[in-house]
A and B are shown apart, each in its own frame.
Chain A
Amino acid sequence: MKKIALIFGVLTFSISQAHAVHQLIFRDASSLTTGTVNNSLLDNSSVTKMGNLTDRLDQVATATGSAVRGHKIYDLYAGAPGSPGNVDAVVGGLASFVNMLASAPVNAAGLTRNTSAHATIFFSSGIYDICGATIPQGVEIWATPGSSTVFRPTSDVCRMFTVYGALRNVTFDMQGRARAGQMVSIATGGAVTGFTVNNADAGDQTTANQLTSFMVEYATNVIIDGVFNSYAGTSQDNYRGGLATVWHSSSVYININASNGNFATNGKQSFFVNGSRDVVIDGDYKGMGGRFVLSYGGNKDIFIRGKHQITKAYNSYVLLKPGEFGAASTGTYVTAHFVHDVANTNVIIDLNDGGAGLELGGVSVTGCTAITTQSTVPTSFIIVRTGTTRAIFTNNRVYGMPFISDSGRNTQFTSLLNFVDGIQQ
């Protein structure tokens, strides 16, 4: 009897195991409701994966349309005229852009700074010809990184966007136009990130045309982060920069990867900063020339960083100068890497007094490296002119050029870990 019971027990256990294996392998999944299935057991031809939607935003948007939009990834989907896919709004110009903003659930047409409208709008791949558009605070326009969501200006002189909210991952195609004025104006809290700018090297570089890609004016908490595949500098000493202008603003973060700049002569300017505080200019700048930045009067805490390959004629590549809106410019910090790759004798960093009665103070150049590939080298890496007081230089390494031409007052650079070809100054 005991033997029978033992055999029965073994058989029962074996059958339950076999049933479990059968259930795991052969069971029809149509009746499953919850639980986890091992991925190795799934066949792509017969199983619809319901993975992490946030990793596949565009596929969801373009492939499945409004039904899937019930997930509310974006509040509204916009497309260009004739674009494929099911979209909520077709944007063919400024009027339809405004209509899109006016539609539910965005309801933000005509707004600038506000707290009532909050919406995310997805722009699918396509060409959008537009100028004069405003993106209100609380509204974000998105595109897929690397996709062809392309905005083009409709004239040579129009401002394409005024951004109070955010514009992310789009491409600006300037179509080789002789552009003047601003491409985008960014207000307080505005952000333009992940952008790419193409065909912008034919901009009108004359002073009167005030060319600048991004204008930050009387604003705070602004982010500019993207790529310029080409651009045009604007006139040297003009109150504009071909890449960006920061005018009486604060907490502005700029990170740009720029190449193929057009500087025409050695006097074209990429950045202009005036009367501002806490401005960071960072990034990777290739094929540079002209004047990278003019930091003018009334600035406080300006941080100039990045890697700079200078291959075209330039003139005082970084120019720090007191001037309008403040006799003193204080707290400018330069920490950058410079490759001098053009036969040019001009200095790389110029601490300029700006003329009679004007003072430049509080400048710190720290942790820079400068190398040259040329036999014609800068007069010196840095020049400190009269009227510059107590500039401090520490921990810099320079190769193949003199470190400093000093005519300033109480300049601090000796025995402060500044090296020229390995020899401390």
Chain B
Amino acid sequence: MEKLFFILSIIISIHLEAFAVTPSRIRGGKVEFAICTVGGQWAFDQDEKTNILDNTPSAQVINLTPTTFELQVAQSGIRFENYSDFVACVENKEHLDDKILDVKPSDYKKKKLLIDALKTENNKK
């Protein structure tokens, strides 16, 4: 049991090291998370996964799930300048704090619940 736990923790740590943030992208102004990597390539839906596997049938598939915090940041309604901006919000407490402060009052009014919850979660870091 201890061995299994040790192996699992190594796998998890390798995974975390490889992807500080779950593979994702900004498309059409929204954050989208990859569902898996196929031979190192990111696939964002089943079609992409199938296409990659068609070309490289033996490629290793690693399924991916975003963290709760990543989902919270992605779905908060905050407008990201680019992908780096999103990643910085996930990784850097201060950057996210500043980003929340910069939300326009009119936007904050509409998304108050989500942004307040995100602020609370960020403060726990």
A379 in the interface (beta carbon within 8 A): yes
CB-CB under 8 A from B82, the residues of chain A are 406, 408, 410-414
Of B23, B24, B32, B84, which is within 8 A of A409 by CB? B84
Q: Is A270 an interface position by the 8 A CB rule? A: no
Interface residues of A in 395-409 (CB under 8 A from B): 402-409
Contact A407 B28 (CB under 8 A): no
Cross-chain contact A406 with B26 (CB below 8 angstroms): yes
Q: Are A407 and B23 in contact (CB under 8 A)?
A: yes
Which residues on the B side are within 8 Å of A413 (C-beta)? 82
Whether A407 pairs with B29 at a CB distance below 8 angstroms is: no
Q: Does A384 contact B (CB under 8 A)?
A: yes
**How many inter-chain contacts with C-beta < 8 Å in the A-B complex?**
43
* B27, B47, B81: the one within 8 Å of A405 (CB): B27
Q: Which listed residue (B47, B79, B81, B83) contacts A407, Cβ 8 A?
A: B83
B11 to chain A, nearest CB (A): 20
A345 to chain B: which residues have CB within 8 Å? Answer: 47
> A411 and B29: CB pair below 8 A?
no
Q: Mark B79-123, 1 if CB is under 8 A from A, else 0.
A: 101111000000000000000000000000000000000000000
Q: Please state if B27 and A411 are interface contacts (CB–CB under 8 Å).
A: no
Which of B26, B42, B47, B84 interacts with A404 by CB under 8 Å?
A: B26
Would you give the shortest CB distance from B26 to chain A, in whole angstroms? 5
Does more than half of chain B's interface fall in helix, strand or loop, or is it mixed? mixed
Shortest Cβ distance from B70 into chain A, in angstroms? 14
Residues of A with C-beta under 8 A to B79 = 414
Contact: A411 with B25, CB < 8 Å?
A: no
Q: Contact between A406 and B29 (Cβ–Cβ < 8 Å)?
A: no
Give complex CA distance A405, B42 in Å: 12
Of the listed residues A384, A402, A407, the one surrounded by the most CB atoms of chain B closer than 10 A to its CB is A407
Count class of interface residues, chain B:
10 to 19
Partner of A379, one of B24, B27, B81: B27
Q: Is the CB of A414 within 8 A of B81?
A: yes
Q: Is A380 an interface residue (CB 8 A)?
A: yes
- In the bound complex, residues from chain A placing their C-beta under 8 Å from that of B25 are 383, 405-407
Closest Cβ of chain A to B109, distance in Å, is 22
B24-39 toward A: CB 8 Å interface, digit per residue (1/0)? Answer: 1111110010000000
* A425 adjacent to chain B (CB < 8 Å): yes
B28–A406 touching, CB < 8 Å: no
Residues in chain A near residue B32, CB distance under 8 A: 405
Min CB–CB distance A53 → chain B (angstroms): 61
Q: Are A384 and B28 in contact (CB under 8 A)?
A: no
**Distance in Å: Cβ of A413 to nearest Cβ of chain B:** 7
Chain B nearest Cβ from A425, distance in angstroms = 7
Which listed residue, A379, A380, A406, A420, touches B83 by the CB 8 Å rule?
A406
Decide: A404 and B81 in contact? CB cutoff 8 A: no
| Centre residue among B27, B29, B81, B82 by max chain A CB count within 10 A | B82
B45-70 interface code vs A (CB 8 A; 1 in, 0 out): 00100000000000000000000000
A402 and B29 CA atoms in complex are apart in Å by 9
Whether B29 lies near A425 (C-beta < 8 A) is: yes
A-side contacts of B84, CB under 8 Å: 408-411
Q: How far is the CA of A384 from the CA of B23 in the complex (A)?
A: 13
Please judge, given known A-B contacts A410-B82, A411-B82, A414-B82, whether A380 and B27 are in contact too, CB under 8 Å: yes
Contacts of B81 in A (CB 8 A): 414
CA distance A384 to B25 in the complex (A): 9
Within 8 Å CB of B26, what residues of A? Answer: 404-407
Q: Offer 5 A-B interface pairs, CB within 8 angstroms, sorted by A.
A: A408-B82, A410-B84, A411-B84, A414-B79, A414-B82
Q: Using CB atoms and an 8 Å cutoff, list the residues of chain A in contact with chain B.
A: 345, 379-380, 383-384, 402-414, 420, 425
Q: Which 3 pairs of residues, A with B, have the shortest CB-CB distance?
A: A402-B28, A406-B83, A407-B25
Given A407-B23, A409-B84, 11 new contacts (CB under 8 A):
A380-B27, A402-B28, A405-B26, A406-B82, A407-B25, A407-B26, A408-B82, A408-B83, A408-B84, A412-B82, A420-B28
